[in-house]
Structure 1
Amino acid sequence: MHLSEVQIHPTPLERFEPLIGPERAAKLYAAAELARRVLAGRVVFIVNSTAMGGGVAEMLQPLLAYSRGAGIDVRWLVIQGNEEFFRITKRVHNHFHGDAGDGGPLGASERATYEAVLRDNALEFAALLSPRDVVLLHDPQTAGLIPLLRRSGAVVVWRSHVGTELWNDYVRSAWSFIRPYIEEAEAVILTRSAYAPDWLRRYVVIPPSIDPFSVKNAPMDERTVRSILYRVGILRGRPEVPAVFSHRDGTPGRIDHCADLLRAGPPPSADVPLIVQVSRWDRLKDMVGVMHGFARRAAALGNAHLALVGPNVSGVSDDPEGALVLDECTAAWRALPHAIRQRIQLVCLPMLDRDENAAIVNALQRHAAVVVQKSLAEGFGLTVAEAMWKSRPVIGSAVGGIEEQLVEGESGLLIAPPTDLDGFGAALERLISDRAFAERLGQNAHQRVLEFFLGSRHLIQYGELFARLEHPLVAPESAAAP
């Protein structure tokens, strides 16, 4: 079992200042200076279960790059596991959202498998640690490392990106499974205070964020947007300019790989309104529900098309259910009338180059007439903030962190409950038919992200947390958006 290290290239904090202004930039610089003093001579190890695929990996890359740029010795390690380990941790992940997942147990046998895999990872990890190094572990896959790494004298913090405020027996079983481990952490970080169990005392609330300068969120002109979507096969047409982008290190990149596509007939042209949901192939993202909601309202949506977009299922190592969910979506698509199937495409994006993948998603979100995130449960939902930053009108389920991002009727539209297909269809129709309203939502959405959900705020909160790790954290604190 070998840990892998992800290379991080430093990025200067100063690039935020033109966006956030001198006053907020001064707070960022002060937090960085405080963290440098506290962490002098120590390493901060960030640990998760995959370097590609999903919002956590995408969020880590820029945050760690800025930390390196601020003069902090940050390193990113990815744990390794076998198929059974990831099957168990996916089950825990689903239970955290109140869902049965694959229906399997979380008993003594599963705990033994989970601990054995993490014990192997910890043995290798311990050789890298010095006393008082900081280890920030992400999500259920890593929680079992906490007691093992504490024995090496490390300061260990656990960060959860998952959870729900709607508790049931599945949620309780997930927390019960990881409780013996996280009770030994010096602090726990949650996305929302509503996710905390009543027995958890030492935690802070730090909502996720996006990097406005990442490949996925960087500015992109309309001709490049269209040319990228022509190149991968999502739109019909010939590239007007080269389908190129800039890598995160500033070097030039080009879209070389096509998407894997399922549709009936040719792709839509660029002037056809395109409704887009981008997410993992995960049942909790409810791609099938999006498809059925669109199908019910198709006649009222003019000539609009729908694109359900996820990663190539072989490119996400820690999600064993992706291929099964894609198969379910394919079966649901085939069951639709032919006239509806012609307006819906299932898209698997290439994952060989993470920056290429991000550039395609950037183009998709910028081109979309409406961006959807109709999740049944959602810890936060970074795709919502990404689309908001691009001034897109967004429809999201009124669940989890999506409720923190979208203000109903001001910066987006919320669907409650998330299974309300008629309500979802009505929201689609409203945004497709009233473009002035849709544009106003998009403009407000951009401003909301600028104020609350950029990485500069996230970095300030981490700096403050690291400065306080010398002292017990006894009460929750939140800087979430109101």
Structure 2
Amino acid sequence: MTTVYEVPLREVPLAPYEEVMGAQRVERLRVEAGWVRRMLGGRTVWNINSTAAGGGVAELLHTLGPLARAAGLDVRWLVIDGDAEFYAIAKRLVSRLYGIAGDGGPLGPAELLHYRRAVAANAERLARHIHPGDFVIVHDAQPAGLIERVRERGATVVWRCHIGSDRPNEHTREGGEFVRRFVAHADATVFSTPGHVPDWAPSPRLIAPSVDPCGPKNMDLSPDVARAVLAATGIVAGDREPPLTVPVPIGPPAEVRQAALALREGPPPAPDLPMVVQVSRWDRLKDMTGVLDAFIASGVDGYLTLAGADVSGVADDPEATDVYEECRRVWHALPEEHRRRCQLLCLPMDDLRENAVVVNALQRHATVVVQKSLAEGFGLTATEAMWKSRPLLASAVGGLRDQVKDGESGLLLPDPHDVGAAAAGIRRLFGDHAFARRLGDNARARVHEHYLPDRQLLDWMRVIESVATARAA
């Protein structure tokens, strides 16, 4: 039975954010939130997406929702549901909007009918949540079919698209034709980067996402604590003595209890062995096998870790298992000497705070972080690594081109398919320690200025104000 459910948002204090961002920035957030709250007349700002865990949208909502509420706005979050066929169609649609074929399946009349039926079942249950005058943000393609139904409820609706392609092709056109019939009813649209705005998007705006500096994924961790977390999960060698309790600035401590599911040859790597790390979903667009090829081609004396979520822990991504199995096959085909220098990790997702601390420790432990995406909306994991002052090698695609200033706050690959260039980038960051350290320092400063959550919330407040005012007029 299809069910729309509300994700509870935790209560957070603003004091930890003042320590990171400064009292002046937090006070500005309070003042602007007060103005928007009065303008809305106490009505609710709703977010609607397709999963409460896994992927960048869920992470952003787990951060922005509580922070907005702490600043004084009534922000809430709904998640839609669907059957396996709906998620397969939605994943296919997402792939097309990224500019690739995905599973190669059709997006024809039968798929449109199934999508409409799934959306209609969800829409029937929205009435208990959404009321006239509310402001609703519909995230990505999965729930886009709800836009017209939400607007019929008397709410103002914005479609927030987190994905896209720098190079329109037959796939983006097919995906666009499918989704635009629904998005056309939105009062406005929001994108992460200019290159992803299609010509059919109504009243488009730009908002770059952000990272949470006070949450378990991006809070400060000492090198000793990071190594202890990785040892406790079996990612590096060391005493495995779970549970390990890690204090968090906001909320209860994180408990590290579960071992990562690791595919490797031999024991875990020594904690002092230099490590290349990519953390991402098991998604073909993240090109995990391409990172594996580039690491081996680089010839560096180090270890590679490719880490993604447990494939059973992300409800809206039916391709994750297939992509992980592809990576397994590529790893198994390697000569033994290379298998001994590479591991694939599936990180448990049933405790999101535990998962976040493990990712935090893994990124901080990394000598080099790679984000070799073939397409990208906004690279949250890249921004997380930048906040941790890690030298970053990323593809010059999507929002990554905005986030990273090549040669200043990271290295960009002009062609994400170029394994030789990726290998050369890894060698350079391994070999030139002063350059790598300078990139890391500049990267953290860039995130502090542009990609912390107060900036994103202020951008959203301006959109809410302008769009709601235009709707009222």
**Do both proteins adopt the same fold according to a TM-score greater than 0.5, normalized to the shorter chain?**
yes
Match of 1:476 in 2: none
Task: Give the aligned residue type for 1:433.
Answer: G
Distance in 2, matches of 1:221 and 1:383, equals 19
1:364 aligns with 2:365: no
Match of 2:438 in 1: 440
Are the counterparts in 2 of residues 224 and 243 from structure 1 also a CA contact under 8 Å?
no
Deviation at 1:415, TM superposition (A): 0.8
Match of 2:37 in 1: 36
Match of 1:95 in 2: 96
Deviation at 1:451, TM superposition (A): 0.5
Task: Give the aligned residue type for 2:413.
Answer: I
Distance in 2, matches of 1:13 and 1:76, equals 20
Closer, same or farther: CA 331–52 of 1 in aligned 2, 3 Å: same
Deviation at 1:115, TM superposition (A): 0.9
Matches within 5 A, 1:46-61: 46-61=47-62
Deviation at 1:164, TM superposition (A): 1.4
SS where residue 471 of structure 1 aligns?
helix
Closer, same or farther: CA 467–12 of 1 in aligned 2, 3 Å: farther
Are the counterparts in 2 of residues 9 and 249 from structure 1 also a CA contact under 8 Å?
no
Are the counterparts in 1 of residues 49 and 140 from structure 2 also a CA contact under 8 Å?
yes
Residues 293-317 of structure 1 deviation map (CA, whole Å, 9 limit, x = unaligned):
111222xx12x00000000000000
Deviation at 1:246, TM superposition (A): 3.3
1:137 aligns with 2:135: no
Task: Give ranges in structure 2 of 5+ residues lacking alignment.
Answer: none
1:110 aligns with 2:111: yes
Further displaced range: 57-66 or 237-246: 237-246
SS where residue 307 of structure 2 aligns?
strand
Deviation at 1:101, TM superposition (A): 0.1
Closer, same or farther: CA 253–201 of 1 in aligned 2, 3 Å: closer
Are the counterparts in 2 of residues 227 and 242 from structure 1 also a CA contact under 8 Å?
no
Match of 1:376 in 2: 374
Match of 1:478 in 2: none
Distance in 1, matches of 2:107 and 2:56, equals 25
SS where residue 188 of structure 1 aligns?
strand
Task: Give the aligned residue type for 1:425.
Answer: A
Match of 1:246 in 2: 247
Closer, same or farther: CA 260–469 of 1 in aligned 2, 3 Å: same
Task: Give the aligned residue type for 2:11.
Answer: P
Distance in 2, matches of 1:451 and 1:173, equals 37
Are the counterparts in 1 of residues 383 and 403 from structure 2 also a CA contact under 8 Å?
yes
Deviation at 1:456, TM superposition (A): 0.6
Distance in 2, matches of 1:241 and 1:263, equals 21
Match of 1:465 in 2: 463
Distance in 2, matches of 1:306 and 1:215, equals 24
Match of 2:12 in 1: 11
Deviation at 1:125, TM superposition (A): 0.7
TM-score normalised by structure 2 residue count: 0.97
Deviation at 1:15, TM superposition (A): 3.7
SS where residue 417 of structure 1 aligns?
coil
Closer, same or farther: CA 14–462 of 1 in aligned 2, 3 Å: farther
Match of 2:162 in 1: 161
SS where residue 100 of structure 1 aligns?
coil
Task: Give the aligned residue type for 1:334.
Answer: H
Residues 82-126 of structure 1 deviation map (CA, whole Å, 9 limit, x = unaligned):
100010111111111111000011111111111111101110012
Distance in 2, matches of 1:314 and 1:108, equals 30
Deviation at 1:156, TM superposition (A): 1.1
Deviation at 1:351, TM superposition (A): 0.8
1:219 aligns with 2:220: yes
Task: Give the aligned residue type for 2:405.
Answer: V
Are the counterparts in 2 of residues 394 and 442 from structure 1 also a CA contact under 8 Å?
yes
Distance in 2, matches of 1:314 and 1:50, equals 13
Match of 1:255 in 2: 256
Distance in 2, matches of 1:22 and 1:256, equals 36
Are the counterparts in 1 of residues 135 and 468 from structure 2 also a CA contact under 8 Å?
no
Are the counterparts in 2 of residues 146 and 182 from structure 1 also a CA contact under 8 Å?
yes
Residues 405-464 of structure 1 deviation map (CA, whole Å, 9 limit, x = unaligned):
111111000112001101000010111111111111100000000000110100101111
Match of 2:147 in 1: 146
Deviation at 1:38, TM superposition (A): 1.5
- Compute the RMSD of aligned alpha carbons: 1.5
Further displaced range: 366-375 or 16-25: 16-25
Distance in 2, matches of 1:69 and 1:297, equals 47
Task: Give ranges in structure 1 of 5+ residues lacking alignment.
Answer: 474-482
Distance in 1, matches of 2:22 and 2:238, equals 41
Are the counterparts in 1 of residues 184 and 202 from structure 2 also a CA contact under 8 Å?
no
Are the counterparts in 1 of residues 30 and 72 from structure 2 also a CA contact under 8 Å?
no
Are the counterparts in 2 of residues 118 and 142 from structure 1 also a CA contact under 8 Å?
yes
Distance in 1, matches of 2:253 and 2:13, equals 20
SS where residue 315 of structure 1 aligns?
coil
1:179 aligns with 2:180: yes
SS where residue 232 of structure 2 aligns?
helix
Residues 293-348 of structure 1 deviation map (CA, whole Å, 9 limit, x = unaligned):
111222xx12x000000000000000000000000000000111110010000000
Task: Give the aligned residue type for 1:196.
Answer: V
Are the counterparts in 2 of residues 373 and 395 from structure 1 also a CA contact under 8 Å?
yes
Matches within 5 A, 1:65-464: 65-238=66-239, 243-246=244-247, 249-298=250-299, 301-302=300-301, 304-464=302-462
Are the counterparts in 2 of residues 45 and 76 from structure 1 also a CA contact under 8 Å?
yes
Are the counterparts in 1 of residues 141 and 161 from structure 2 also a CA contact under 8 Å?
yes
Deviation at 1:22, TM superposition (A): 4.6
Deviation at 1:16, TM superposition (A): 2.9
Are the counterparts in 2 of residues 10 and 67 from structure 1 also a CA contact under 8 Å?
no
Closer, same or farther: CA 47–398 of 1 in aligned 2, 3 Å: same
Closer, same or farther: CA 135–451 of 1 in aligned 2, 3 Å: same
Distance in 1, matches of 2:243 and 2:347, equals 19
SS where residue 124 of structure 1 aligns?
coil
Identical-pair percentage:
46
Distance in 2, matches of 1:255 and 1:25, equals 31
Deviation at 1:236, TM superposition (A): 0.7
Distance in 2, matches of 1:200 and 1:119, equals 23
Deviation at 1:239, TM superposition (A): 5.5
Deviation at 1:250, TM superposition (A): 2.4
Task: Give the aligned residue type for 1:340.
Answer: H
Deviation at 1:384, TM superposition (A): 0.5
SS where residue 158 of structure 2 aligns?
strand
SS where residue 472 of structure 1 aligns?
helix
Deviation at 1:26, TM superposition (A): 4.2
SS where residue 142 of structure 2 aligns?
helix
